[in-house]
Amino acid sequence: MGEVFLDAFLDTLELLPFVLIIYILIELLEHKTSFTENHKLLQGNLAPLLGAATGIIPQCGFSVMAAKLYDRKLIRTGTLLAVFLATSDEALIILLSSIDEAYVVIPLVVIKLIVAVAVGYFVNAVFKKEKQETHFSGEIHAYSCGNEHEDEKPVKTYFVRPLLHTLEVCVYLFLVTLIFGLIVYLVGEDVVAEWFVGGAYLQPLICAAIGLIPNCASSVIITGAYLNGGVLFGSMIAGLCTNAGMGMVVLFKNTKQTKRNLAIFAAMYVIGAAAGIIVNAILVACGWYVAI
């Protein structure tokens, strides 16, 4: 059992420097990104496409920004959903840091973009009379924490904060890896493989629900489960489509729009779960997985 602990620790330790570097780069990007005179880009015909492309960028800072813009009626519902569905919180960072599974990022991003853009345009077409504000003054930054930190010293902003976030994510990842390692050790690899592969159509429903939890732990759990062979690719898609991170929290801060927010919450779950089931069904049909 000591080997299981050591393997989980070493696997996590290998990822730590890569995760830290990516977080430092993202902090630079978030700090320099604001929504000022370019806000009309997310109000035109290309809004869902641009919103989805923005959401793909690792971290949930842009979903936070989208939620703030939506509350001020500066973007439409379809555009908001495009950003939310494209967001993957910590997932891309973890996958990019994994040498063996980094290739998965490309199909993951492509599928999420297709889902986000399609849903964005469809919803905007259905609610084509939705009102938008055309005038905006001020600045909205894409900080993933949802709070402004303009007055922080550079060392804290660009090193201490990324380091703390890296350690937090790595702790979650270590725990996920350790738990899966213990399960395999106690019940056997064959039993685990049969149990997880048999859930091709149930897993997306569960992963989509986990993804809705507004914390980086949810995306780490889903991605970690995939890396450890715990869930299928389509199931990971389901969880990461619903994982808008802190963007959902910012949205629910507006208690006057609870019904609207609940409708968006439910739509995210249905779309994410459906996307995951479809992807798994295609993989099963192609003979990549066996559905029981």
> What's the gap between Cα 128 and its chain centre?
27
CA distances from 129 to 75, 124, 125, 126, 261 (A): 13, 9, 9, 8, 19
DSSP letters, 119-186, are HHHHHHHHTTT--------S--B--TTSS--TTS-HHIIIIIHHHHHHHHHHHHHHHHHHHHHHHHHH
| Intervals of the chain under pLDDT 50 | 36-37, 144-147, 197-198
Residue in the structure block whose two tokens are 């780490």: 220
Q: Quote the DSSP letter at residue 257.
A: G
Q: What is the pLDDT of residues 193-217, one digit of tens each?
A: 555 544 788 889 999 999 998 777 7
Q: What is the pLDDT of residue 170?
A: 80
At what angle are helices 258-285 and 203-211 packed, to 10 degrees?
A: 140
Contacts of 57 (CB under 8 A, 6+ apart): 26, 29
**Among 31, 19, 68, CA closest to 171:** 19
Measure the CA–CA gap between 77 and 212, rounded to whole angstroms.
18
How high is the pLDDT of residue 273? Answer: 96
- The tokens 């996958």 sit on which residue? 95
pLDDT recorded at residue 193: 53
- Taking the CB of residue 18, how many other CB atoms lie within 10 A of it? 17
Identify whether the C-beta of residue 251 lies closer than 8 Å to the C-beta of residue 67. yes
Q: Are 56 and 82 in contact (CB under 8 A)?
A: no
- Distance in Å from the first CA to the final CA of the chain: 31
